Amino acid sequence: MAVSEPTWKKFNELVRLVQQDHQKQRAVCAAGHDFEHAFAVAQYAKSIAEDDRIGELGWIAGVCHNTDRIFPDASETEVRAKVSEYLSVVPLDENDKTLVLEAVMEHSKKNDPKDNPVTVALKDADQIENIGALAFIRSGQHFHDLQPVDYRHLWENPDATFKNPLSVARDLRHHLEWESWLRTPKAREIAAPRFEFLRLFLSKIEKELKDAGLFPYPF
């Protein structure tokens, strides 16, 4: 997908401010929530949105959507204020700023039928970016203290949760849930081969463990 040069230029001050904050907070946003992730999400949001206006607002929301991650100790009120600060340099009317702010604040929550179109585009874009090839590396970074595979239980450990998957492989398997969450046709189209690749990768893990006599676990 080509970089949207006109969008970049139109909102260059916004990009500068957000990139600057990512650089300042690099220690807390390196594993999966760097500026490049935010930019990629912005690009996807623009490409999958229902129309050009929502696409542009989705692009802005994508650039801003890491705010809670790069300021992990900030309250919701403080995050909202920071996003509003970013939006102060963007030539949008108050209604559009409200849509963008709402999308950024809601993007980590479960899908809601009441989600505005910008929120829908942002949520789908974030999931598309997080299911790509880099997800395999990011998962290992984020859960660097976990075992690669839970040899005893493999996928079905009753103590495992989404936030504490107990193995890197199980964290990746949790990503498959996102396939049914996507709501825009273009997002589903982009994501389909990525989910297919993830299923193949997970099946290879299981097959190789079987070949090695480690699944089912014999000890």
Residue 184: name the closest of 64, 51, 63 by CA.
51
Per-residue confidence (pLDDT) for residue 129, from 0 to 100: 97
Domain of residue 171 covers 131-213
pLDDT bin (cut points 50, 70, 90) of residue 68 is: very high
pTM attached to this predicted model: 0.94
Output the pLDDT for position 3.
52
Task: Tell me how many domains the chain contains.
Answer: 2
- Dmax over CA atoms of the chain, in Å, equals 64
The amino acid at residue 141 is: Q
**Is residue 135 domain-shared with residue 195, that is, in the same domain?**
yes
Contact call for residues 31 and 142 (beta carbons, < 8 A): yes
- Looking at the fold, whether 85 and 3 belong to one and the same domain comes out as yes
**Residues 160 and 92 placed together within one structural domain of the fold:** no
What does the DSSP 8-state code read for residue 175? G
pLDDT digits 0-9 by tens, 179-188: 999 999 999 9
Residue range 125-153, pLDDT digits in tens: 999 999 999 999 999 999 999 999 999 99
Tell whether 118 is covered by a domain.
no
Tell which of 77, 109, 141 closes a domain: 109
For residue 12, name the pLDDT band (cuts at 50, 70, 90): very high
Residue 86 lies in a domain: yes
pLDDT at 192 over 80: yes
Task: Kindly indicate the confidence band of residue 9, based on its pLDDT and cuts at 50, 70 and 90.
Answer: confident
Q: pLDDT, tens digit, for every residue of 203-212?
A: 999 999 999 9
CA 81 to CA 38: how far, in whole Å? 19
Same domain, 136 and 166: yes
Residues 162 and 97 grouped into a single domain: no
**Residue 116 scores a pLDDT above 80:** yes
